[in-house]
Amino acid sequence: MTDLLLLPGDGIGPEVTAEVRKVAAVLTPDLVIEERLFGGCSFDAHGTPLTDDTLAAAKAAKAVLMGAVGGPQWAGAPRDRRPEAGLLGLRAGMKVFANLRPALCFQPLADASSLKRELVEGLDLMIVRELTGGVYFGQPRFIEDLPGGGRRAVDTQVYTTAEIERVSRVAFELARGRRNKVHSAEKSNVMETGLLWREVVTDLHRREYADVELEHILADNAAMQIVKSPKQFDVMVTDNLFGDILSDAAAQLTGSLGMLPSAALGVPGTPGLYEPIHGSAPDIAGKGIANPLAAILSFEMALRWSLDRPEAAGRLFAAVNRALEAGARTPDLKGALTTAQMGDAVVSQLRS
């Protein structure tokens, strides 16, 4: 049985996942790893970003690790067969509704953030992003021509009680093992889905999680607070679109978008989908200078959450920290190491 299905994808995806392979070869040499085309490269080879075979392989593995997909080459591909559509299909097909995006400031990187050291030192914020609903999947969605000229585009934001409740439950459970505080971010002041979101979270909290501190926050204020005083947050639960945006902002607090891993989880016993939150970075793809730590830390999350190897995960986390302590920096962290040298720095810490 495949332990880990690797989907390197496009752009810097193959560059950063190659470093995961290096790390895995030293840390967990017995892990059975399989690799497949996914995203734009799969569209080029098979006419679709996600083949039925690849989805079946993803569901049959214990964990899936994705690099990144997309790029300007596929801007003209049919909308439903763009690389990004493949990623949404993979998330929906694997039913991974809870996306954990930890923004963690590694001590040696406290000066790499765009914020002052004292604002980010010790930061440990967990964003729990709803991943298989909301405006990403809501119907109807279309662009139509208007009779009098011009066009009209429609997206639909939809959430059900059950969808809100299951992702909120994940946030409350996580908080209990952390600092016991949940912020729920929505726009209940203008959106019906925001209103339902607030009601469902409030109700679940009252029924099952009254021991956890809960605060509701409007998503625009949350964005401001994340860059004003991010350490006030422990766990933040939010919808698919707000979670996408807030997690990119939170990533920069840690020094770089290239630092933030993620774990997308479904019901217990089903495989998790692990991915750096960054994209295919067309501006630096092929140059060998992308930061592989978000991908390596996504592997760390897979070891912990899907592969039942917490000890190996702990070793890997410590090795990344020591590599950073020793001064390893890719250009996004204002250093000069190549992607491969950063991977080597982690591997050499694992060996020592």
Active site residues per annotation: 136, 187, 220, 244, 248
**Among residue numbers 86 through 145, which ones bind ligand IPM (CB under 6 A)?**
87-88
Distance CA(69)–CA(87), nearest Å, equals 8
Applying CB under 6 A, does 234 fall inside the site for ligand NAD?
A: no
In 32-113 the beta strands, taken as DSSP E runs, fall at: 33-35, 63-68, 98-104
Q: In angstroms, what is the minimal distance from the CB of 266 to ligand NAD?
A: 18
Considering the complex, state which of residue 186 and residue 244 has its C-beta at the smaller distance from Mn ion. Answer: 244
Q: Candidates 80-88, 224-232, 284-292, 335-343 — which segment interacts with ligand IPM by CB under 6 A? A: 80-88
Using CB under 6 A, pick the residue from 3, 19, 84, 300 that binds ligand NAD: 84
Q: How far apart, in Å, are the Cα atoms of 308 and each of 63, 81, 153, 154, 300? A: 11, 34, 45, 43, 11
Which of the listed partners (ligand IPM, ligand NAD, Mn ion, none) does 255 bind, with a CB threshold of 5 to 8 Å by partner kind? none
Spell out where 257-307 has E strands.
263-265, 272-274
Residue 240 to residues 90, 114, 350, Cα–Cα distance (Å): 15, 25, 36
- Enumerate residues 142-201 that contact ligand IPM by CB under 6 A: none
- 123 binds, options ligand IPM, ligand NAD, Mn ion, none, Cβ within 5 to 8 A by partner type: none
Strand arrangement of the beta sheet that strand 98-104 belongs to: 33-35, 4-9, 63-68, 272-274, 263-265, 98-104, 124-130, 235-238, 181-186, 213-218
What is the nearest approach in angstroms of ligand IPM to the Cβ of residue 122? 25
Q: Closer CB to ligand IPM, residue 279 or residue 343?
A: 279
CA dihedral 5, 55, 133, 298 (to 10 degrees): 10
How far apart are the C-alpha atoms of 129 and 258, rounded to whole Å? 18
Under the criterion CB under 6 A, does residue 281 sit at the interface with ligand NAD? yes
Q: How far is 69 from 242, CA to CA, in rounded Å?
A: 20
Q: Which does 316 bind (CB under 5 to 8 A by kind): Mn ion, ligand NAD, ligand IPM, none?
A: none
In the set 128, 164, 277, 313, which binds ligand IPM (CB under 6 A)? Answer: 277
CA angle 89/132/299 to nearest 5° reads 75
The residue written with tokens 């989805």 in the block is 55
User: How far is the C-alpha of 183 from the C-alpha of 201, rounded, in Å?
Assistant: 10
Q: Does 84 bind ligand IPM (CB under 6 A)?
A: yes
- Of 2 and 291, the one with the shorter C-beta distance to Mn ion is 291
Report how many residues bind ligand NAD under the rule CB under 6 A: 22
List the one residue from 10, 186, 244, 300 that touches Mn ion (CB under 5 A): 244
Site string for ligand NAD, 284-323 (x = CB under 6 A): x-----xx--x-----------------------------
For the chain, helix (H) and strand (E) counts, in that order, are 12, 12
Q: Name the minimum Å distance from CB 278 to Mn ion.
A: 8
With binding defined as CB under 5 A, does residue 275 bind Mn ion?
no
10 sits near Mn ion (criterion: CB under 5 A) = no
State in Å, rounded, how far the first CA of the chain is from the last one: 31
Q: What is the closest distance, in whole angstroms, from the C-beta atom of residue 84 to Mn ion in the complex?
A: 10
Token pair of 240, please? 């698919």
Q: Measuring CA to CA, which residue among 258, 253, 259 is closest to residue 231?
A: 253
Interacting residues toward ligand NAD by CB under 6 A: 12, 16, 68-71, 84, 87, 257-258, 275, 278-284, 290-291, 294, 332
Interacting residues toward ligand IPM by CB under 6 A: 70, 84, 87-88, 244, 277, 279
Interacting residues toward Mn ion by CB under 5 A: 244
